[in-house]
A and B are shown apart, each in its own frame.
Chain A
Amino acid sequence: MYTVADLKKGLKIILDGDPYLVVAFDFVKPGKGQALYRTKMRNMINGSLLDRTYRSGESFEPASLEERTMEYLYKEGNHYTFMDQQTYEQVVMEEETLGDAKNYLLENLKVEVMLFGEKAIGISLPNFVNLRVTETEQWAKGDTSGNDSKPATVETGYVLRVPPFIEEGELIVIDTRTGEYSTRVKG
């Protein structure tokens, strides 16, 4: 258990059953009065921010979170299944929990899955992933319209802007932090 005196930025605690990360903290104590501990916390499942003020004497349960390397297996409806290659344990996450990360999930991709108890609450991806272009318009040589990019669909169904010279079937590198095209994989 933590007490209010343990509160500081970066601490992870459980509130109303959810894991929260303390993102801001201050101690206030007006004129010989009672001490107050003001915190701003981020819900680690849905990202929402919460302001809470505590008084001395309150205590908190630490949130134990674990990150494990898992492989993405398949999608069924809006449920995505991942598996730990060592224990063969599987976890399922909803599309909503994954957010933009779903755009880069290709079968067998290795990701870091954040677990809160048994529950998977998010994943971290490699900074760059390679995905094949499945659909994009052909670049007309000598096109002088001035467009320096065009839309392309990759094998996960994600649509992004790519340079005009990219052709269907090509493998491109995407920066998962920005969602943008990074470079072409040659060969």
Chain B
Amino acid sequence: MKVDALWLRAHVIKAIRDFFWERGFLEVETPLLIPANAPEEHINPVLALPSWQLQTSPEICMKRLLCKGHRKLFQISRCWRSGERGSRHLSEFTMLEWYRADCDYRTLMADCEELLQHVAATCLPGRRCFERHAAQIDPFAPWQRISVQEAFARFSQHEVWDCLKKGLYEEILTSDVEPALAGFDVPVILMDYPAELAALARTMPGHRNLAERFELYVGGLELANGFSELNDPVEQRLRFAEANSARRSAGQAELPLPEPFLETLATMPPSAGIALGVDRLVMLSAGVDTIDEVVAFTPEDL
């Protein structure tokens, strides 16, 4: 890896930190080693000690801090997801998460716009654009917002509900929709996901089958995932049970439930939270194709 990518990485992380400090967010550090993550059908935690796992995301602890009355929080931390390795994945990676009380996912979309503009302005002087596969993506031009249903209708020959029923959602998303998103020269917000794809998100008022979840794409690369948080402990417990039952049917081990989180969830104010892949933001800043090029060492180097 080139030395300048490490410098750029340090600058991007500093720019993120400055951005949230300037806006009055509290920077927190929550434990990386925890008894339970939020169980997800397709995310496998790394088991570190008997009955302890490495975090797959800091979400559980950060939401408990919202319950304790903190209103604007951010954290840059390491997360681990077993078995994830590819040109855009490392099983140990760096995540930025931020949370806001009394806001919904639309406030987070505005945060994303300001954050990416801040990073581009401070870390990419002169250019002020991100780069993916030699294409320039301008965060200062008006962003695109497209609903998931609309994106499937426009960019694939399929209807999203139909894909979900047939188990083809991920395939069509990655083969038809994401490549089409790569054609935009501005960041794209893909929003309003089918509720079954948003285990921890609030459903949209008046639309039980849709969730207030969005994903940020820059040059076709999935950069962040945010949503209006579900704060109904009964519903949340039900969704965790569904995830575990899906895991059981797929022959995967069931995961323990984060009980203290479920117990305090009812006290969480209406909130919104988002996770952004820092390594990927550095990839877009450096204009490199693989995540290997923006970390000091890959697992294969060790």
Q: Contact partner of B170 among A27, A33, A57, CB < 8 A?
A: A33
- Taken together as a complex, chains A and B put the C-alpha atoms of A28 and B250 apart, in Å, by 19
Which residues in A have their C-beta under 8 angstroms from that of B197?
31-33
Q: Which residues of A contact B41 (CB under 8 A)?
A: 34
Given known A26-B87, A53-B171, contact A32–B43 (CB-CB < 8 A): yes
Q: Which residues of A contact B84 (CB under 8 A)?
A: 27, 29, 35
Interface residues of A in 1-18 (CB under 8 A from B): 5
For A26, the chain B residues whose CB sits under 8 A away are 86-88
B222's contact among A5, A30, A36, A53, by CB below 8 Å, is which?
Answer: A30
Q: Considering the chains assembled together, what is the distance between the CA atoms of A35 and B42 in angstroms?
A: 7
| Contact bitstring A23-60, B, C-beta under 8 A = 1, else 0 | 00011111111111010000000000000010011000
Q: Of A28, A34, A53, which one neighbours B42 at CB under 8 angstroms?
A: A34
| B21 smallest CB distance to A (angstroms) | 29
Number of B positions contacting A (CB below 8 A): 25
Q: Is the CB of B83 within 8 A of A32?
A: no
B180 at the interface (CB under 8 A from A): no
Contact A29 B42, beta carbon cutoff 8 Å: yes
Establish whether residues A28 and B40, one from each chain, have CB atoms under 8 Å apart when the complex forms. Answer: no
> How many chain A residues have a CB neighbour from B under 8 Å?
16
Which chain B residue shows the least CB distance to A36? B170
In the complex, A28→B199 CA distance in Å? 20
Subset of 26 A-B contacts with CB under 8 Å: A26-B86, A27-B85, A27-B86, A27-B87, A27-B88, A27-B89, A28-B86, A28-B88, A28-B170, A28-B174, A29-B84, A29-B170, A30-B170, A30-B174, A31-B197, A31-B215, A31-B222, A32-B197, A32-B199, A33-B42, A33-B169, A33-B170, A33-B173, A34-B41, A35-B84, A56-B83
| Cα–Cα, bound, A29→B88 (Å) | 9
CB of A139, distance to nearest CB on chain B (Å): 52
CB neighbours of B173 from chain A (8 A): 30, 33
Tell me if B242 counts as interface (CB < 8 A to partner A): no
By secondary structure, the A interface counts as loop
Q: Give residues of chain A (99-138) contacting chain B, Cβ–Cβ below 8 Å.
A: none
Q: How many A-B residue pairs have CB under 8 A?
A: 54
B215 and A57 within 8 A (CB): no
A interface footprint on B4-20 (CB within 8 Å = 1, 0 otherwise): 00000000000000000
Q: Hey, which chain B residues are within 8 Å of A36, CB to CB?
A: 170-171, 174
**B50 CB–A CB distance under 8 Å:** no
| Chain A CB within 8 A of B178 CB | yes
Nearest-neighbour CB distance to chain A for B91, whole angstroms, equals: 10
Residues of A within 8 A of B174 (CB): 28, 30, 36, 38
Residue of B nearest to A56 (CB): B83
CB closest residue in chain A, given B57: A32
Residue of A nearest to B224 (CB): A31
- Min Cβ gap B178→A in Å is 7
Q: Which residues of A contact B86 (CB under 8 A)?
A: 26-29
Cβ–Cβ < 8 Å partners of A32 in chain B? 40, 42-43, 197, 199, 225
Identify the closest chain A residue to B215 (Cβ): A31
Q: How far is the CA of A31 from the CA of B227 in the complex (A)?
A: 12
- A36 CA / B167 CA spacing, docked (Å): 12
The chain B residue sitting closest to A51, CB to CB, is: B175
Q: What's the minimum C-beta distance from B83 to chain A, rounded to whole angstroms? A: 6
Scan residues 68-101 of chain B and give those whose CB is less than 8 A from a CB of chain A: 83-89
Asked whether, in the complex, the Cβ of B250 is within 8 Å of the Cβ of A35, the reply is no
Contacts of A53 in B (CB 8 A): 171, 175
Contacts of B225 in A (CB 8 A): 31-32
Closest to B177 in A: A30
In the assembly, what is the distance between CA of A35 and CA of B174, in Å? Answer: 11
Instruction: Give the chain B neighbours of A5 by CB distance below 8 A.
Output: 83
What is the bound-complex CA distance between A35 and B197, given in angstroms? 14
In the bound complex, CA of A53 to CA of B174 (Å): 11
* Residue pair B250, A57 in contact (C-beta under 8 Å): yes
A60 to B88, CA, bound (A): 24
Tell me the bound Cα distance from A34 to B197 in angstroms: 11
**Is there an interface contact between B178 and A30, defined as CB atoms closer than 8 Å?**
yes
